[in-house]
Structure 1
Amino acid sequence: MSRLALHGLRVLEVGTGPALAYAGKLFADFGAEVIKAEAPEGDAWRQMPPLMGGESALFAWLNTNKRSIVCRPSATDTAWLAQLARSCDVVLDARALTQGVGLLAQPVWAGAPGGHTPISVDITWFGESGPYAQFTGSEAVCRALSGAAQASGPLEGPPHLPHDVQTGIVAGLIAFSAAVGALIGQKDGSRRYTVSLHEAAFGTVEMEAGIVQDKRHPGRLGVNRFCATHPTGIFETADGWIGIFSHTLPQWITLCETLGRPEWARDPRFANGQLRMAHADEIDAWLIEAFRKETAAHWFQVLGAQKFPAVFVPTMQELLQQAVHRERGAFVPVSFGPRDGERTVEGPGVPLRLDTAGPLPGGRAPSLGEHDAHYRGAAPQRSPRRLTPAPRQRLPLEGIRIVDLTMGWAGPLASRTAADLGAEVIKVESTVYPDWWRGTNFTEEFYRDRLYEKNSNFNLLNRNKLGVTLDLTHPDGKSLLLQLVAGADAVIENYSAEVLPKLGLDYAALSAINERLVMVSMPAFGLHNVWSDTRAYGGTLEQASGLPLYTGHPDGPPAMTSYAYGDPTGGFNAGAALLLALWAQQRTGQGRHLNLSQVEAMLPNTAPYLLEQSAHGAVSPRENNRHPMHAPHGVYRCAGDDAWLLVSATGDAAWQSLCRVIGRPDLAADTTLAHAAGRRAAHDRLDDAIATWARTRDAHDAMHTLQHAGVAAGVVEAMADVLRDPHLRQRGFFQPVERAHVGSYLATTPYFRPGPDALPLRRVSPTLGEHTRDVLSRTLGVKPDRLDMLDALGITGTAARPKAAKASPDNTPHPTLDQKETR
C-alpha cells in the first residue's frame, strides 16, 4: 500500500451520486484513506441495479476500498463530521445535489476548531450561480440541457439518453483532476473548486460547439450518423457485430475494394463524406448485405490489415472474454456484502495505469456504517501537514513544463487540463503534419487561405498552450525536441503506437536523457499487445467497448452515443492520469511511462452492463430512455420542430408534483403509483399522460413550469441553442475571444472553478508555430541566426506546407544544421 500514488492521504466523501463516488473511487483505488459519510438509511445508490441478494453491484464497484460511516442529522454528529473533515487532506462534497447550492457557503468543516482547511471539491448540478443554479437536477437533465443528447438517436426521435453513470464518471474525473491539481500546488494555488455536472456533460460533445461555430453542424441525422461523414456504423455479421468508421477518401476506397464494390471506390457520387451521407441509405443497404457474408473476426482481420478503422462490437459476455483486456488486467474482482456471506463480481478496473503506484486490482466495498467505531474513536485526531501559503496565489501547476505531442481531441483535451491548471504546455507540430484537427483536406485553398488556422475545434482544445513547430524526421528537429524533453516534467502523446519508436523517440530514448520524466501514451488498445496497431477514431473506441449494444431504443439497431464519444472519455482519463503521475513524481522524484488504453478508458461507462453480465450471466434488454430507479423518466415531444423535453420523477414527492402540473389528480391518488416500482410497472400509461400534456407546450415553458414545481426537467437542446444558453452565458462559461486569422469566436472555460468565476484564459490557441522562436530561445538558448536557419531549412515555420515542399529545389536532402552552422 505504501507504494500507491495516493497512500497517506485522507479523503472525506459526503453526499451521493456516481460523480462523487467515482472521484472517491479514484482516490481509494490509488491508496488514499477514503471515508464515505452516509445517512442512516444509506446512500440511495445502494439500491441501484444490478442487484445481488438485494445489494447493488454497481454501488460496490463505485465504492471499492473505502470506509463507511453513518452521520445522523444531529448537532452532535454534525460537529463530529466537521472535526473529521478538518483531519482530511481532501473533502469531496456532493451535498448540493440533494440539499441545494446554498450550503456551499457553509462547508462541511465549518465550526470545527483548528486551523487546517482541507482541499475541497464541491459537485453541483449547474454550479453555484446562474439561472439554473436552483434547478432540480439529475444526470439526464444535465445531459439534455448541455447538448449531449439532441444529436443522438433516430431522425424522427426521440433522442437517446444513456445510463446516468456515464455523466457521473466524466464529472468524477473532472473533480478528481481538480483535487489532484490542487494537491500538487497546495502551497500556492486554490484549495477549493466547484464542478458543474451540466458543464461536465457538455464536455462529452464539445466538438459539436466548434462545428456549429464553423457553420457545419448538420443536426440529428439518424442512428449512427454524425457530422456529415459516412459510413460510420455497426453491422451484424455472420457471427457477431463489426463497427466501422470511414472518414477519409482512402478509407472509403479500401472499404469498397475489400467488400466487393470496387466501382464505387471512385464514383463521384461518393467523393467525400458529405456526398456519401447524402447516399447513406444506399450505402448502408449494401453494407448490411456485405458484412453478413463473413464473421466479425474475418472483417476485423482483413480491414485491420489495411489500417482501416474496424473493430469488434462485443456483447458484455464477449468483452469479458477478450484476451487483450484480460492480459492488461482490465477486469477486476469487486466484493461486497457481509464478510460471512461476501459476493464477488467482475467489473472494469480503473484505467489509469501507474504500474506499482496503482491502481489496486479491485477490492471490497464497505457495508453501511462498517467503520463507525473506528472513526468515532481516536481516528479523527489526525493532523494533516500544514503549509505556509505563498505570498501570492498562483495556479497550482505553475512551474511544471509539459511537451505535448498530441493531435485531435483526446490528447489535446488531456494536456489542456494541465494547461488550465497553470502548466507550461508546449504543443509540438510540424509545418508538413500539423495537428489534424486543423483540417485534413489538403487542397490549394487549405494552404493559400490558411484554413488550418480557422478550425474552431482546434481553437477550443488548445487554449492556454504555447505552439511550436519542429520537423521530427529531421535530425535537428529531433535534437531540439530532445533538448525540450530534457528540461520537461512530462510528455504526452497520442500517435499511432508505431510512430515514436520509428523516430527513436519512445520512452526508453526520452527517459535516457531525463530519468524523472513522466510520459503518457494513449493508443486505442494500449501498447505492447496484438491490437496495439489498430486504427481508431473516437467513435471506434465506443464501438470497441460494446456500449452501443446497450444504448438506444429496443426496436432499433445498436446505437452510438455521439460522433466521437471515446475521444473526450480518453482525454479526461489521460488528463487525470497525467496529473496523478505528476503528483507521484513530486513525491518520489521517479519517472514512469503510463500505458493508457483509450478503449479501456471507455469501460467504466459499461459498468452497469458488465457487472450485470458478471452477476447474472446476461444483460437486461434495452429499455428505451427509461431509468433503472426513477419513474416516470423519458423524453417527450413538445410543440415545434424537433422540440423535446426530458422529464424525470426522481422521488415520490416529485411524482405528486408532476401529477399536479399535468392535471392528473387521478394518477396522484392511485396508490399503486405511490412508489417507483409501481410506476415502473405502469410506465407506458404514465408516458402517455406526460406526452399528452407536453405535446402542445413550448419546451422551455414546460421546463420552467415543472422546475418551479420541483420536478427534474430539461429541454433537449441542440448545440446551437446551447451556445446561446442564458445560464452558461451568465456564468461566463463561454467567453468571446479574438484570434489571428479567425477574429472573434466563443471559447469555453475550464470545467472546474476556484470560485464564482472561471479560471483565466491566459492565451487563445496558438497559430501554427506562433511561439517557436520564443520557446527555443528562452528555454534552449537558441540564437536568432540559428532560428532563421531552422526556418530556412523547413524544420520550423509558421505556415503549413505540402509534404513535397520540404525538399530543396534540386531534390537533394537538406543538410543538418551541424553541417551548416552551430548555434
Structure 2
Amino acid sequence: MPKLPLSDLRVVEIGSGDQLGYCGKLFSDFGAEVIKIEPPGGDPMRRHAPLIDAGRGKSESGVFAWLNTNKHSVIADLADAADVATIKTLLQSCDLLLDARPPADIPISFLTHDDLRRDNPGLAITAISWFGENGLYSDFHTTDSICRALAGCVKLVGAKEGPPVLPRDGQISVMTALTAFIPTLAGLYGRKRGARRFAVSAHAAMLHISEFDTGLALESGFTRPRTALNRFGRGYPVGNFQTRDGWLGITVVTPAQWAAFCGMLGLPELEKEAKFTDGLVRSVNSAELAAIFQPILLQKSAQEWFEMGIELRIPLAVVPSMEELLRQPYYRERGAFADVTIGSASFEAPVLPQRLTGSLPLANGKAPLAGSDDVASFRPRDRIATRQATLDDPLPLKGLRIVDLTMGWAGPTATRQMGDLGADVIKVESCQYPDWFRGTDPRGPYHPERTYEKVYWFQQMNRNKRGITLDLTQPKGLALLKRLIADADAVIDNYAADVMPRLGLDPDAMRKLNPRLIVVTMPAFGMTGAWSGVRAYGSTLEQASGLPSITGSEGDPPTMVHTALGDPYGGVSAAAALMIGFMHQKRTGEGQHIDLSATEALLPMVAPSVIEQSVTGTTSPRLGNRHPRFVPHGCFPCIGEDQWLTIAVRSDEEWQALCKVIHRPDLAEDATLATADGRRADEDRIEVAIRHWTMTVRPELAMNALQDAGVPAGTARLPMDMAGDPHLLSTGHWQPVTRRFMGPHLLPSVAYREGSSRAPYAITRLAPTLGQHNEEVLREVLGLADSEIAELRNAEIIGDTATSKKSKTVAPAT
C-alpha cells in the first residue's frame, strides 16, 4: 500500500474539543501518527451523545469516535510532574503539538510553550482557542453559539421579528480546524527552514463566513436585514420550498435562470411581468409570487424538479433529511460515507472531503479506546526541523507557484490562503470576462467608471496575488496559459465541471503538460457522478448537504442560515487539500488531481446528525435555540431595536451565577432547577425570567455582566459590526490600506498569529487591478520580450481594461 501524504509526521494532541479533534483527524486520516493525550477518565467528549455500546460495558460518543479515527490514545495527568516528564520525552520525537488548552492555562502549566520551544526547538506547535491568545475576548467564557453570535453569523438568520436562529453545534469546529490545519501544514511543508508556532482564533476563523456581508456593509453602508425564514440574500426565489414529496432548494439569481424557472413551471408569461422581472422586485412581491408557483411545485417530487433543473441549468437541490442523505446514490458512488469503529461498535459517518485522487484519505476507520496505547510503544525517531523559525524567515510557501483560474468567493478563498503563506499566486482573468466578484452588471458605470475595480468583495478575496489577463478563446492566449501551467506547482479552478475540458484542459491534459502538477477542481458536485453538471451557488450547496433539515425549530421548514456557507467552507477545504497535495508532491515528485466536491465539503458540518441517524436509526427533533446539553440556552431580546444576547449555561454553577446577575434568588433557591434535567423540564419559565432581565439592559452591558460572573454570553452582532468590533480592533485584525480606484479601506487579516507575535501577517500585495501584472509575469515567468507583449496587447489577448465582449467559451464559476 502506498504511503499516505502525511505518513512521515508524528503529531501529539493535548486538550479537548471538536475543533482540536477535527484538525487532528485531517492529519490522522491522511496517514500521520497522531497521539491523543487524554486526562485520567478519558476525554470529556467521550460522554457526549449520541452514545453507543462499544462492548464490555463501555459507552462511547459516536461523534468523538469519528473525530478520532486512526489515532492513538495515551492517558496522562498534566498536573502530575512525572506524567508531564513522560509527555515531554514523547514530544522530543514529534513534529507537531496541537494544543487546545485555554490560553490562560498554558503559561502556568507544567507544559508551557516557551519551555517547549527552548528545550525542543524542532517541535512545531499550533494552539487552538476560541478567541486567540490576546485581545479583549481572549478570556471569555464561550460556546459554539456565543462565538458564532460574536462573529456576525447569527443575527441575520430567522424570522423578521426574531429571535435570530442559533444553528446546531459542530459547524465552528470544521471551519476552525481547517483554518488551523492550513498554516500548520504549510509550516511543516517548509520545516527545513525551522519549526513554527501558530495561535489560531476560532472567532477570527468564523469571519470567513461573515466577511462577505461585512464587505457589503463597508462598501454600501448597508447590511441586508433579517426578513424571514429561508429568505436568502436580497433576491427571490431563494430558499426551501415544499413539493409533493420532500423539500426543494431553489436559488434563482440571473435573468436566464428566472426565464428557465418560469418555463419549467409552465408559466413562461411570468418572465416578462414587471413585478417579477428581477430579484429585488420579486423579493418585494414574494408573497404574490409564492402563491402562484408553490401549488405547482406540489405537483411533482423534489427529485423530479431537481432532475429538470439539471437539464435547464437552474441551481436546484433536493434538501434531504439525514436518512435520505445517507442513502443518496450520488454520495454513495463517491464514497462520501464510511464506517467508524470503536470497540465492538460500528456506524457510518462522513469521510474527509479532501479527495486527492492519487492518495485518497483513509475512509474513516478505528478510533481508540481511552488509554489504549502506552508512551513506551512509540519509538524514538528523527525529524527534519532542528530549530525554531523566526518572523525574519521567509513565509513557509515561498517558492511555490499556483495558477489561479478561480472566480467569485470559494476558489479565491482557497488561493488567498496560499498567498497569505507566501506562495506566488498568479490570478488569470480576461478583459472579456473578469472575475464576477468585480461585479455582475456591465451596464451603466461599469466600464466608463471602472466600477469593476471598486468592489469590496474582490479586494477581500484577492489580496497577496498577482493578476494577469489572457483571452483563452484565442489560440495564443490559451497557449500562454499552458506555458504557465507547465512550470507551475499547482493550478486550481472553480468553474462548472465541463468548462475547462471544453478548452482542452481537463485534469489529465494539464498533467500531461506537467506531471508534477497538482490540479484542483471544485465544482459544486465534483467532476464525477450523475450530478457533476449541476449548477449551484453557496446556498445550493447548503441545501444539498442536508444542513437545513437540522437547523431551526421542529415544525419549521428546513431552515437556511442566510449566508453562502458553501463558498467559505469549500474554499478552506480546497486549500487544505492543496496543502496535502503539496506534501505528497514534495515527497514523491508526483502531481495528482484533487476532485473536490464543494457540497461534500459541507458534510462534516452535519456529521453529528449523520452519526445519530446511523447509530439510532433516527434524528432527534430540532430544538430551535435550545441545546441538548446546555440549559438555559438561547438568544434573548435586549434594550434597543433588534438587539439580542446569546446566553449558554453549561453547568449548575453557571446557573447559580446567572440567577445572581438577573436578580432572581428565587430561581437559584428552587431545588427543582438545581440540575440540567430539572431546568430542562421548566425551560419555558426560565426563558421568561431571562427575557424580563435582558429587556431592561443594553446587550453589551448584559454580556459583560454575565462574562464577569463566569457565564458564557455574547452579543448577536451584525456583519457590519465586525469592522468596529473592540476585540478585533485590539488584535489588529483590520489592516488599513490604500489602493488605486478604491482609496483608503480596511482589509481582514489571517485568523492566526505566528510565534508569540500579537500582529497578523502584513498584507504584502493588494488585490490586483485588471491585468496589473501582465508585463511582470509574462516577462519574468514566461520570458517574453517587450515586442511580444506589445503584440499580445494589440491583439487584445492581454489588457488592463474590461471590454463589453463576452467570451463564448468560458462560463461563470460556480
Alignment TM-score, normalising by the size of structure 1: 0.94
Unmatched runs of 5 consecutive residues or more in structure 2: 54-58, 810-814
CA distance in 2, matches of 1:353, 1:805: 31
2:361 corresponding residue in structure 1: 359
Alpha-carbon contact 2:99-2:128 (below 8 Å) kept: yes
CA 1:671/1:66 → structure 2, altered by over 3 Å: closer, same or farther? farther
Higher mean Cα deviation, 43-52 or 160-169?
43-52
Distance change (3 Å), C-alpha of 1:103 and 1:301: farther
Q: Specify the alignment match of 1:662 in structure 2.
A: 662
> In the alignment, which residue of structure 1 is the partner of 2:215?
210
1:389/1:25 CA distance change after superposition, 3 Å: closer
**Once the two structures are superposed, what CA deviation does each residue of 1:23-61 show, in whole Å capped at 9, x if it has no partner?**
001111111111111111322221222222342111111
Give the distance between the partners of 1:467 and 1:506, measured in 2 at CA.
23
Q: Is this contact kept in 1: 2:433–2:807, CA < 8 A?
A: no
Decide whether the 8 Å contact of 2:191 with 2:384 is kept in 1.
no
Is the deviation greater in 284-293 or in 722-731?
284-293
For each residue in 1:92-135, what CA deviation from the matched residue of structure 2 results, as whole angstroms up to 9, or x when unmatched? 111017x5575599635836995443111111111111111121
Q: 1:107 is matched with which residue?
A: 112
Q: Which residue of 2 aligns with 1:159?
A: 164
- Tell me the SS of whatever aligns to 1:269: helix
**Does 1:538 pair with 2:538?**
yes
Match of 2:140 among 135, 144, 150: 135
Q: Which residue of 2 aligns with 1:684?
A: 684
CA distance in 2, matches of 1:713, 1:217: 24
Task: Return the alpha-carbon distance in structure 1 between the equivalents of residues 806 and 134 of structure 2.
Answer: 53
Deviation of 1:166 (Å): 0.4
SS in 1 for 2:781: helix
Partner residue in 2 for 1:178: 183
Residue 497 of structure 2 corresponds to 497
The verdict on how the C-alpha distance between 1:18 and 1:379 changes in structure 2, with shifts beyond 3 A counting, is same
Task: Please tell me the residue identity of whatever aligns with 2:397.
Answer: L
Deviations 1:671-726 (A, max 9, x none): 44333333333322222221111111100000000001111100000112121101
CA, structure 1 residues 41+654, in 2 after alignment: closer, same or farther (shift >3 Å)? farther
Please give the secondary structure, in 1, of the residue aligned with 2:654. helix
1:40 and 1:676, CA in 2 relative to 1: closer, same or farther beyond 3 A?
Answer: farther
Q: How far apart are residue 149 of structure 1 and its match?
A: 0.8
Structure 1 residues 762 and 104: CA distance shift in structure 2, 3 A: farther
- The question of 1:283 aligning with 2:289 is answered yes
Secondary structure (helix, strand or coil) at the match of 2:192 reads coil
Offset at 1:204?
Answer: 1.7
Output the amino acid matched with 2:188.
L
2:549 match: secondary structure: helix
Matched residues in 2 for 1:237 and 1:505: separation?
A: 39
Matched residue of 1:283: which SS? helix
* 1:379 counterpart residue number: 378
Give the partner amino acid of 2:457: N
Letter paired with 1:368:
A
CA contact (8 A) 2:634 2:647 kept: yes
Q: Counterpart amino acid of 1:277?
A: S
Task: Provide, for residues 641-672 of structure 1, a one-character-per-residue CA deviation record: whole Å limited to 9, x for no partner.
Answer: 00000001122322221121112223323344
Runs of 5+ consecutive residues of structure 1 not aligned to the other structure: 808-823
Q: Does 1:409 align with 2:414?
A: no
The SS at the match of 2:585 is: helix
Residue 83 of structure 1 and its aligned partner are, at CA, apart by 2.3
- For 1:660 and 1:76, locate their aligned partners in 2 and report how far apart those are by CA, in whole Å: 41
Which residue is equivalent to 1:793? 795
State how 1:291-306 maps to structure 2 within 5 Å. Answer: 291-306=297-312
Q: CA deviation at 1:596?
A: 0.7
Counterpart for residue 812 of structure 2: none
Calculate the TM-score normalised by the size of structure 2. 0.95
Q: Which amino acid aligns with 1:738?
A: T
Is the CA contact (8 Å cut-off) linking 1:96 and 1:104 kept in structure 2?
no
Counterpart residue identity of residue 450, structure 1:
R
Q: State the shift of 1:188 in Å.
A: 2.6
The answer to whether residue 638 in structure 2 is matched with residue 632 in structure 1 is no
**Quick one: distance in 1 between partners of 2:107 and 2:142?**
15
Equivalent AA in structure 1 for residue 163 of structure 2: P
Instruction: State the partner residue of 2:622.
Output: 622
Amino acid at match of 1:122: A
184-193 vs 408-417, greater mean Cα deviation: 184-193
- After superposition, the C-alpha distances for 1:193-234 in whole angstroms (9 at most, x for unaligned) are 111111111212221111111215322122122331111011
Q: Contact between 2:735 and 2:747, CA under 8 Å: does it hold in 1?
A: yes
Q: In the alignment, is the contact (CA less than 8 A) between 2:188 and 2:195 conserved in 1?
A: no
In the alignment, does 2:236 pair up with 1:236?
A: no
Does the residue aligned with 2:191 lie in a helix, a strand or coil? coil
| Contact 2:117 2:388 (C-alpha < 8 Å) held by counterparts | no
Given that residues 122 and 383 in structure 2 are in contact (C-alpha distance below 8 angstroms), is that contact kept between their aligned partners in structure 1?
Answer: no
In the alignment, structure 1 residue 596 sits paired with structure 2 residue 632: no
Question: Secondary structure of the residue that 1:235 maps to in structure 2?
Answer: strand
Alpha-carbon offset, residue 594 of structure 1? 0.4
Aligned letter for 1:243?
G
Letter in 2 for 1:524: A
Q: Is the 8 A contact 2:644 2:716 kept in 1?
A: yes
1:126 and 2:126 matched: no
Query: In structure 2, what is the equivalent of residue 776 of structure 1?
Result: 778
Q: Which amino acid aligns with 2:306?
A: F
Matched to 2:46, the amino acid is: R
For 2:33, the equivalent position in structure 1 comes to 33
Change (3 A) 1:589 1:309: same
CA distance in 1: counterparts of 2:370 and 2:789, whole angstroms: 64
* Counterpart in the other structure of 1:272: 278
Rounded Cα–Cα distance in structure 1 between residues aligned with 2:63 and 2:502: 43
The CA deviation at 1:2 is: 5.2
Could you say what secondary structure the match of 1:34 adopts?
strand
Code of the aligned partner of 1:42: G
- Answer yes or no: is the 8 Å Cα contact 1:86–1:109 preserved in 2: no
Q: 1:77 to 1:672 in 2, by over 3 A?
A: farther
Aligned residues: 799
- Deviations along 1:289-310, one digit per CA (max 9) or x if unpaired, are 2211111122112122110101
What is the match of residue 253 of structure 1? 259
Q: Tell me the equivalent position of 2:60.
A: 55
> In angstroms, what is the RMSD of aligned CA positions?
2.0
User: CA 1:806/1:662 → structure 2, altered by over 3 Å: closer, same or farther?
Assistant: closer
Q: Return the alpha-carbon distance in structure 1 between the equivalents of residues 540 and 627 of structure 2.
A: 26
Kept in 2, the 8 Å contact 1:101–1:124? The answer is no
Give CA deviations for 1:372-424 in whole Å, capped at 9, x if unaligned: xx21x252644423446789501000000000000111100001111100000
Letter of the aligned partner of 1:322 in structure 2?
Answer: Q
Q: Which residue of 1 aligns with 2:56?
A: none
The answer to whether the 8 Å contact 2:176/2:205 transfers is yes
More displaced stretch, 561-570 vs 46-55: 46-55
Query: Equivalents in 1 of 2:214, 2:563: separation in Å?
Result: 13
Contact 1:403 1:425 in 2 (8 A): yes
Q: Percent identity over the alignment? A: 44
- Equivalent-residue separation in structure 1 for 2:308 and 2:2 (angstroms): 47
SS of structure 1 residue aligned to 2:729: helix
- Work out the CA distance in 1 between the residues paired with 2:118 and 2:563: 51
Give the aligned residue type for 1:801: T
- Decide which moves more: 306-315 or 65-74: 65-74
Q: 1:113 to 1:646 in 2, by over 3 A?
A: closer
Aligned to 1:812: none
Matched residue type, 1:290:
I
Match of 1:146 in 2: 151
Structural mapping, 1:356-755, within 5 Å: 356-371=358-373, 374-375=374-375, 377=376, 379=378, 381-387=380-386, 392-754=392-754, 755=757
- The residue identity in structure 1 corresponding to 2:183 is A
How far, CA to CA, are the matches of 2:499 and 2:574 in structure 1? 19
Question: Residues of 1 paired with 2:277 and 2:194: CA distance?
Answer: 52
Q: Is the 8 A contact 2:121 2:386 kept in 1?
A: no
